[in-house]
Amino acid sequence: MTGFVITPPTTASLAISGSDQVFPLRRVFCVGRNYAAHAREMGADPDREPPFFFSKPADAVVPASGTLPYPPATRELHHEVELVVALKEGGADIAPERALDLVWGYAVGLDLTRRDLQAIAKKDGRPWDMAKGFDASAPCSPLQPLSCTGHPQQGRIWLEVNGELKQEGNLDEMIWPVADVISYLSRFVTLAPGDLIFTGTPSGVGALNPGDRVRGGVEGVTTFELVVAGE
């Protein structure tokens, strides 16, 4: 019988609200510039650009609670609050009208970005991996089952830092709604149960500093609160 030469890594997972069970994580996909105002603040044209995607490691997903470590190798850590979709089914070339049938539930997360490293990568035509896929770069609230949220089509999405509102928008401002995001992504990869999709952020992204207290949420889904570790 064939065995592993080292102990297999623990399966990454995400807590489920009100349950002792957890949701196993397979892959984490993120949609770039999916709100028009954010696309403009990042220098893009929201009327012309199709959705694009990047990934984070599954074990970059950590609880959006308690104390969040400030990552090394950056002096410009940015927050991006997002609606997160968890899939219970998968497939390829999924039609938009069937895409929402794949959803298990929703959460609220942060796509944390080492913005200084991302700027260098963009300038030099290099990959974004170290700017987007570092340890603890995807804090996420517990998952809310679909029975608790339905499919949120509209509702306020927001983030505060030290009590000051930094990001605010509405889910109905997404350039590509959730069903379209799932369908479009499935043209490029075969989706599977356990996949998470971060669906983009509204305008107002900005820096987080050691000691900052961060609160955010999506109306009808959930809220979160955490503190960035001090130096």
Q: Where do the domains of the chain lie, and which CATH numbers do they carry?
A: 13-228 (3.90.850.10)
Interval 74-93: pLDDT, tens: 999 999 999 999 999 999 99
Element (H, E) at 123: helix 115-124
pTM for the model stands at: 0.95
Report the percentage of the chain scoring pLDDT > 90.
Answer: 90
pLDDT tier for residue 34 given thresholds of 50, 70 and 90: very high
Residues 6+ apart with CB under 8 A from 166: 79, 159, 160, 204, 205, 206
Number of Cβ within 10 Å of residue 211's Cβ equals 12
> For the residues 134-161, what does the mean pLDDT come to?
97
Which pLDDT score, from 0 to 100, does residue 31 have? Answer: 95
Structure tokens at 15: 């807590």
pLDDT tens digit sequence for 37-71? 766 676 677 775 788 999 999 999 999 999 999 99
What local confidence, expressed as pLDDT, does residue 169 receive?
96
